[in-house]
Structure 1
Amino acid sequence: MNYWLLKTEPSCFGLADLQQRPDQREPWDGVRNYQARNLLRDAMHVGDQAFLYHSSCKVPAVVAIVAIVRAGYPDPTAFDPQSRHFDPASDPAAPRWYQVDIQLLRPLRRPISLTELRQRPELDGLELLRRGSRLSVQPVAERHWHAIMALEDAGNAR
C-alpha cells in the first residue's frame, strides 16, 4: 500500500462536503499540475490511503483519512466547457488530465495542524513541509504516515 496527502481548500470542497456525498465517495478531479497528474495516473492504486488536508484556510490541517477506491482515469471535467476545470487543449483520445475516486475512511479524532506538523522532527523530509511545496497530490513515506497517525492521540504533548 502507498500513502498520500491530498490538499483541498475547504471553501471549495472539504471534509464536510465529502461526508455528505453518497457513500462518502467522490472523484478527485480538477488537478491541473503535471507532476500531480502523473501520480494520479500512474502511482495511485485501489487500496492506497491518503490524508485529506485542508489548505488555504485559517488553520491548515490534516483532517481525515480516505481510501483510493478507483485508480486513475481520464478527468471528464477537462472536456466539459461548463466546468471551471475545462481545458480546451485536452483531447479525449489522448487525455491530458486524470483523477481517482476517493472514499472517506474516517475523520481524524482531531485536526493536526500544519503548525504542529512543522514542530515534529520525525516529519523531517515530509513533502508538505518542504519550503515552496504547493503540490496538491503528494506521496507520504510510510514512516511519516505512522508518525502523523501517532499525533492524532498525542495532542500537542511532546
Structure 2
Amino acid sequence: MSLVRFCLLSLLTLAFSASAQTLYKWVGKDGKVHYSDQPPPKEIKKVEQPRLKASSIDTSGLPYETQKAAQDFPVTLFTSADCKSECDSGRAFLRKRGIPFSESIIATPEEASAFKKRFGSDSILLPSLTVGSQKQQGFEEGTWNGMLDTAGYPRTAIPGTARTARPAPASEPAPAAQ
C-alpha cells in the first residue's frame, strides 16, 4: 500500500512541477525588452525572472456550474485608464451574465508588451477578454457570449451572486473580491 501512495505522490509532484514554467525578461543589445520561456543569450548579464501569479476570485456562494466554469476557465478582462465607454460596456456585459472575472489594467509599456505576446498581436484593442485559453480583442457581444457559453458559464446572473475582482495592473495578480 505504501508503494502505491509513493507512486501517486511522485506523479502528483511531477504534474505540478511541469506546469510551473520559468519566464525570463531581459533587454537586448538593441534596447528591446524580450520575454521568453528560454534563457537569454550568455552575453546578457541582467536577467529578471518575473513571477506571474494567477488571479483568484471568490466563487463561494455561486452555483456549482458557475464555480466549475470559473475554476476550469477563469475569465480576465483587460482594460486601461484610457478605455472608457467600451470597457464599461464589457464590464456591464460580464456583470449582467453573472460572470466572476478579474480585471487587469494595462498601464505600462512592459504590460503592453506582455499583453501583445499573450494575444499574439502587434496591436492592443481594448477591452479584451480571456476565457481559459480563448482570447478576444475588442468588445463583441456575440463573440464574448460564444466564448462564455462554450466554457459553461450561465446565460443570466442569479441575483446577488456576481463576483468581480478589483482591477489590478496587468503584471500583478488581481486580488479576490470580498
Would the TM-score normalized by the shorter structure come out above 0.5? no
Select the structure of larger CA radius of gyration.
2
Question: Which structure shows the bigger proportion of residues in helix conformation?
Answer: 2
* Relative contact order, higher structure (CA 8 A, sep 6+): 1
TM-score by length of 2: 0.22
Question: Which structure shows the bigger proportion of residues in strand conformation?
Answer: 1
